[in-house]
């Protein structure tokens, strides 16, 4: 059985990776960590683990959906970069 500290560490990773939570929500949850019960930690962990599972099972669908929404907003076809291992430094759009 995992300790409370193990659960909090696992939850922290899920919070960092979440795309559903805003930056402010993430900070609010982290601020509440000391006051969360084990049941609350478990429930939040289950919710964010489900989000992670969906992202792992349907990455192409999610990418196409994001591209579609962004293309509608911008008014032109936008394709998301496929290589996640690239790091861009500087300002402006990567070439």
**What is the model's pLDDT at position 33?**
87
- For residue 90, name the pLDDT band (cuts at 50, 70, 90): low
**Sign for the pseudo-dihedral over CA of 23, 15, 45, 40:** negative
> Residue 21 pLDDT > 60, yes or no?
yes
User: Are the C-beta atoms of residues 23 and 15 closer than 8 Å to each other?
Assistant: no
Mean pLDDT confidence for 7-17? 91
Taking the whole predicted model, whether its pTM rises above 0.85 is answered as no
Q: What is the mean pLDDT of the chain?
A: 83
Confidence of residue 55 (pLDDT cuts 50, 70, 90): confident
């Amino acid at each position: 059985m995992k300790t409370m500290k193990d659960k909090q560490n696992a939850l922290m990773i899920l919070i960092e990776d979440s795309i559903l939570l805003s930056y402010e929500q993430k900070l609010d949850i982290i601020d509440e960590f000391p006051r969360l019960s084990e049941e609350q930690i478990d429930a939040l962990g289950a919710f964010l683990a489900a989000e992670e599972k969906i992202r792992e099972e349907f990455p192409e669908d999610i990418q196409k959906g994001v591209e579609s929404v962004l293309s509608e907003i911008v008014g032109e076809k936008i394709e998301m970069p496929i290589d996640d291992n690239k790091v861009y430094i500087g300002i402006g759009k990567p070439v």
